[in-house]
Structure 1
């Protein structure tokens, strides 16, 4: 299994370099569990989904603590058939047989409910793509049911679902969407945009 995210962070300020550089220290606790590669467009984080999402969350919360309007965009993937297996990405949830949908929704909700709050409010929108399976809409509708039952569901939009609330349960919700929906050995992707401190929050 291969899992990770290509992320880009956009602080809306002339001093964007300082905001980004100061926020990078939030990745330090995860560096021994992630492969990190940066170029002039994005940064690749490779690791298990829980570590990838925790690192993204902490990076974004650190940037948003500047008080500036910050946006993070991420292209997230697991199980891409074009990528080699990586031991760093091994997680039991993606090696076990596929559990019943209701069981997976319940586990996802329990994980989101247990997320310790970060103190940073965010808005987010994401789209889930379960690839290479005949019943992909069954999985997507199951994920939508889970998200609507979570504490951070805001509204459905064209092509995506909007979340609002503390950064911890928001990132946990998207992480559970990647982990729990679609075949455990299948290819699943998410397109994610997160915003904080927006001057137009609605």
Structure 2
């Protein structure tokens, strides 16, 4: 399997270079379990979801802790048929396809309850795309039902769902949506925006 994210960080401050470079240092603790490549547009992070999402959480939290208005934009994908399998992406975090939807929802809720807080607020919106034929709408509606019980659900919006809360549970919710819904051998993508310190909320 291949799993990863293309991530861009946008600080709305004159000191944006320092915010970006200092925030990328948050990935250092994860580099032995991920493949990380940064260029002038984005940072590619490749690895198993149980490592990928905590790394994204820490990157976001480091940037948000500066107090600047920052936005993290990411496109995440797993199981893309156009990408080669990568041993670094081996994982046991994806749902068993034979497990009923209700059981997967309960497992996802337990994972959020067990996750630590980060002490940093996060406002996020995302869309889950389950590719291919089959019961993809059943999976998406099952995910939405899980989100409404997650404790991080804020509201449904056109084309996406909004989450809010501490960065720990918010990113744990995103991880569970990515891992528990959609076939483990299928192609699943997420379009994600996370914002911190927006002046429009003051």
Report the TM range for the smaller structure's normalisation: over 0.9
Instruction: Name 1:84's counterpart in structure 2.
Output: 84
Does residue 126 of structure 1 match 2:135? no
Q: Residue deviations 1:8-56, cap 9 Å, x none?
A: 0011101001111111221111000000111111110000011111101
CA contact (8 A) 2:73 2:194 kept: yes
1:12 and 1:199 map into 2 onto residues whose CA distance is 10
* Corresponding residue for residue 25 of structure 2: 25
Deviation, 1:96, is 4.5
Contact map agreement 1:48 1:90 (CA 8 A) in 2: yes
Q: Check conservation: 1:93, 1:184, Cα contact below 8 A.
A: no
Contact map agreement 2:33 2:51 (CA 8 A) in 1: yes
Q: Does 1:3 align with 2:14?
A: no
Which moves more between the two structures, 129-138 or 153-162? 129-138
Residues 133-180 of structure 1: CA deviation (Å, up to 9, x unaligned): 321110000000000001110000000000010001111101111100
Question: CA offset at residue 93 of structure 1?
Answer: 3.3
The residue aligned with 1:56 is: 56
TM-score by length of 1: 0.97
Distance of 2:23 and 2:152 partners within structure 1: 24
Residues of 1 paired with 2:94 and 2:154: CA distance?
Answer: 28
- Alpha carbons 1:95, 1:185 under 8 Å: kept: no
Q: Distance in 1 between matches of 2:120 and 2:26?
A: 14
Aligned length, in residue pairs:
202
The aligned runs of 1:130-141 (5 Å cut-off) are 130-141=130-141
- When the two chains are superposed, the root-mean-square deviation of aligned CA atoms in Å is 1.2
Aligned to 1:147: 147
Q: Secondary structure at the match of 1:140?
A: helix
Unmatched 5+ stretches in structure 2: none
Could you tell me how far apart the structure 2 residues matched to 1:94 and 1:196 are? 29
Structure-1 residue corresponding to 2:183? 183
